[in-house]
Structure 1
Amino acid sequence: MKKLLLFAVTALPAAAQVPLQVAAESAAVEARHEGNQFVLEVQDPGNHAWRVQTSDHLGGWTNGATHRVFNGFLRIPMPIEGSQRFFRLNSDEAEAVTSDADSALLLPATLANYANPALPPHLLTQLIRGQDNTPAANPTTNAGATLGRALFYDKRLSANQTVSCSSCHQAAHGYSDPRQFSVGFEGGLTGRNSMGLTNAKYYLRENFFWDERAATLEDQVLQPIQNSVEMGMTLDLLVTRLSAEPFYAELFTDAFGTATVTSNRISRALAQFVRSIASGQSKYDQGVPLNFTNFTAQEQQGRQIFNGQGNCVACHGSDNFVPGNAINNNGLENPYIDKGVGALTGLPQDEGLFKVPSLRNIELTAPYMHDGRFATLEQVVDFYSTGVVNHPNLSPPLRNPPGAPGAGQPRRLNLTNAQKAALVAFLKTLTDTSVTTDEKFQDPFRYEVE
């Protein structure tokens, strides 16, 4: 029995909200009075079908249309007509509903271009191509990334169907999480801050997670699904769950030639979508062919500090602002509470080694560092100016060079307030909202009855 009863009268003022919320099993419904209609908002992690029923006296119910919840939530507009004073959603008497891709998803008639995005010339050089971690066995295709997009936003990937990949990698925040630690499917907290995904495909070392424990992106995307805190699933259960959805049969067929759902195909599709999130339209990118004449004086000063005095480029190099083939200890503390790679290997020389992500869209991905300890870019710049802690594994670019005063000790840039503000201003030129707002990267599920 999943029946939900909802009672509403037409005499409510136009701006009123109906506070009544009735739940059955894990589903709940709330009604809002909007103009000349009610909108029924259904929260249903089980993704059931619901028949709308109306009545003028509660002595009998008139059947209306049946609607399917496809990803945990659905808004159903209900025009107020005649003597109808009561509304009900009844899953027990729901009709069979279509569950194809057109019904479940808002996808363009022609697949979006994920495989060959338009990038400026400076992001097509041999240096940049050499940073691309796309394996030959899993090139990004339009159909594959479209499937990956649906999977990325689908809460079916968590045990109780309440959390998706996008819950911890939110587009508006550079595909990261504004919380210090992300909230898992049962309310538990992750051990590290969620890393932004912008330009994840450009990382010469190929490994993923802060401690690089996943050898490839294909390996990485399956691990949160199986994590006991994050999503709590088994791959076998996930395959069974997705195989039961007709719309996925279409997407898997388009991407891989047959409707068969496998964990390998899930992995490949998710990786294709994540790699497609590539930035190339920031103010910085616009400035490259102009020799940065589009920059303000403050941004120019920040760029000079980044490449010169600050030597930030040593760990955030090239036009993608990523490291070369190095993993670094940036002197956050000594000893490290979270030992990074050292926690995996048990080796003292690996303590405090963490992946260096791209700085693209860094303005959007607060808080910062693997533990989210810094709330703002200003705090990050303060740290690198005067706060780097001496540690046996501290990376060379953060030490005074041999022969210099204080050789081997942590560098102290001692930037002025104006210089620190300039460096922050430069970092903000790396913001590219085209990849955080482009429709092809947004949630594709239908959440409102048309």
Structure 2
Amino acid sequence: MHGVKTHALLITLLPSLAAADPLPAGSSVSLQPGGGNSIGRLDLTDTGNRVWTLQRSSDLTNWSDASTLKVRNSLLRIALAKQNGTPRLYYRLHYNSDSQVAANDVADALQLPATLANYANPTLPAHLLTQQIRAQNNTPFDNATTNPGATLGRVLFYDKRLSANNTVSCSSCHQPAHGFSDPARFSTGFAGGLTGRNSMGLTSNRYYLRGKYFWDERAATLEDQVLMPIQNTTEMGLTLDQLVTKVSAEPYYATLFTSAFGDPAVNSTRISKALAQFVRSIVSGNTKYDQGVPVNFTNFTAEENQGRAIFNGPAGGCSACHGSDNFVPGNNIFNNGLENPYVDKGLGSVTGLTSDEGFFKVPSLRNIELTAPYMHDGRFATLEQVVEFYNSGVVNHPNLSPQLRVPPGNPGMGNPRRLNLNPGQKAALVAFLKTLTDTSVTTDPKFSDPFRYDAP
């Protein structure tokens, strides 16, 4: 029959594996070992998100259809069961380009709770509900976070269809286990190219008072920022028109957009709003530090309390750039003296002003333990290296921020500030920074990948 190709994956109880035909473009199959009642598991990677038929046979002559399978986010895991009384069993995947219709509504494609998760009103401790903290919130009046909006944003955040070849999602460069950042110095884009800067962690991003995004603050709002990687020719490679077309083609998005916005219309403004709502919902409030605030940090070790004193006191002065219980920079952007001259000019590359060279956004330190490597170019692999830089390596750049000069003063005045800590003090400072880790955020199901990858 025209359009029918059988891509045979022959698995026996041994097992052995063979491919009868080249697989369709963008697809590959691997076999994982089984146990108990399982022969094994097929991992079907298919960036075309196609419909396949799993067939089985005991004699390689007579084949029966076992199930019809839809790949929904470029990956499908298929468990291969044994059959009682069948000493040898073979499976193959059958792809028919003329039979590409399969159920693909919300229940088929996604694992979402019956009652939407709480994104709009996260439970936070009292010290994160003060007026100072509320004033840091950069949520615009026309895009308040809602449970349906952030749920839609969560699906979009993990959807690889937001890239040109369905291989990269927002989460590819902002991985939960790494504080929603990338453990690589530079992230890999849809065609294998590398980004020019390290991917910044997303924890507590809504508390960036300046409201501008990217290391050089070239995005005026988070709503602007979330669409820019999608359009970047290295990162995800789509135009906004292509983005809307691809999202509109998935039936489950009609349901999600209706829930979030009242009707199923898909446009780039709604996509940006939903993504921004999801990102702003990633808020930390359950670190060891947070648990210590109401008990005056009696839960801390002596070393952690020593580090806290260094961080907040004149010996370290770290809170001058990482202030409040969110450890954010207030309404400031800083030049921290990484080098002179700067290879990457940061804000200066956006404005073209010499006086802006070397200024970069300062992220929250919440989950800093998880977001290595550090700085805009990922030059430091560990927190120990970061502390050593501030201890002995700050460079006297003309734009070095006053907080990093001795005495603090105007740019160009005073020498670079060096902490000159001893080994014990440096270790204590690192220990304190690790009290800002919040794995309850990075492991929370409501921030996880919602797609169904296991075949029913």
What interval of TM-score do these two structures reach, taking the shorter chain for normalisation?
A: over 0.9
Q: Does 1:436 align with 2:442?
A: yes
- The Cα of 1:67 is off from its aligned counterpart by 1.2
Distance 1:199 1:19 in 2: 48
Partner residue in 1 for 2:140 = 135
- The Cα of 1:5 is off from its aligned counterpart by 2.0
Distance 1:317 1:220 in 2: 24
Partner residue in 2 for 1:73 = 75
Partner residue in 2 for 1:110 = 115
Partner residue in 1 for 2:258 = 253
Q: Does 1:185 align with 2:187?
A: no
State whether residues 2 and 25 of structure 1, in contact with CA within 8 Å, keep that contact through their aligned partners in structure 2. Answer: no
Partner residue in 1 for 2:129 = 124
Q: Does 1:379 align with 2:381?
A: no
Partner residue in 2 for 1:174 = 179
Gaps of 5+ in 1: none
Partner residue in 2 for 1:197 = 202
Partner residue in 1 for 2:222 = 217
State whether residues 51 and 95 of structure 1, in contact with CA within 8 Å, keep that contact through their aligned partners in structure 2. Answer: no
1:17–1:207 CA distance, 2 compared to 1 (3 A): farther
Distance 1:347 1:257 in 2: 45
State whether residues 9 and 18 of structure 2, in contact with CA within 8 Å, keep that contact through their aligned partners in structure 1. Answer: no
Matched pairs, number: 445
SS at match of 1:78: strand
- The Cα of 1:99 is off from its aligned counterpart by 0.5
- The Cα of 1:324 is off from its aligned counterpart by 1.4
Distance 2:373 2:75 in 1: 29
TM-score, scaled relative to structure 2: 0.94
Q: Does 1:88 align with 2:92?
A: yes
Q: 1:213 corresponds to which letter in structure 2?
A: R
Q: RMSD across aligned C-alpha pairs, in angstroms?
A: 1.8
Q: What pairs with 1:224-239 in structure 2 (closer than 5 Å)?
A: 224-239=229-244
SS at match of 2:122: coil
Bigger mean CA offset, 70-79 vs 82-91: 82-91
User: Which of 412, 415, 425 is the matching residue for 2:431?
Assistant: 425
SS at match of 1:381: helix
Q: What pairs with 1:336-351 in structure 2 (closer than 5 Å)?
A: 336-351=342-357
SS at match of 1:299: helix
Distance 1:101 1:446 in 2: 10
State whether residues 17 and 33 of structure 1, in contact with CA within 8 Å, keep that contact through their aligned partners in structure 2. Answer: no
State whether residues 4 and 28 of structure 1, in contact with CA within 8 Å, keep that contact through their aligned partners in structure 2. Answer: no
Partner residue in 1 for 2:26 = 26
Q: Does 1:207 align with 2:209?
A: no
Gaps of 5+ in 2: none
Distance 1:19 1:4 in 2: 13
Q: 1:246 corresponds to which letter in structure 2?
A: P
Q: 2:376 corresponds to which letter in structure 1?
A: H
SS at match of 1:23: coil
Distance 2:265 2:57 in 1: 44
- The Cα of 1:80 is off from its aligned counterpart by 2.6
1:89-140 CA deviation, whole Å, 9 max, x = no partner? 1221757321110110011110000000000000000000000000010000
1:202–1:317 CA distance, 2 compared to 1 (3 A): same
- The Cα of 1:77 is off from its aligned counterpart by 1.4
State whether residues 10 and 92 of structure 2, in contact with CA within 8 Å, keep that contact through their aligned partners in structure 1. Answer: no
Partner residue in 1 for 2:359 = 353
1:371–1:95 CA distance, 2 compared to 1 (3 A): closer
State whether residues 5 and 87 of structure 1, in contact with CA within 8 Å, keep that contact through their aligned partners in structure 2. Answer: no
Could you tell me the percent identity over the aligned residues? 66
Q: 1:233 corresponds to which letter in structure 2?
A: L
State whether residues 54 and 84 of structure 1, in contact with CA within 8 Å, keep that contact through their aligned partners in structure 2. Answer: no
1:341-380 CA deviation, whole Å, 9 max, x = no partner? 1111111100000001000000000000000000000000
Distance 1:281 1:54 in 2: 50
1:260-309 CA deviation, whole Å, 9 max, x = no partner? 11000100000000000000000000000011111100000000000011
SS at match of 2:164: coil
State whether residues 8 and 18 of structure 2, in contact with CA within 8 Å, keep that contact through their aligned partners in structure 1. Answer: no
Q: 2:353 corresponds to which letter in structure 1?
A: L
1:27–1:425 CA distance, 2 compared to 1 (3 A): same
1:102–1:421 CA distance, 2 compared to 1 (3 A): same
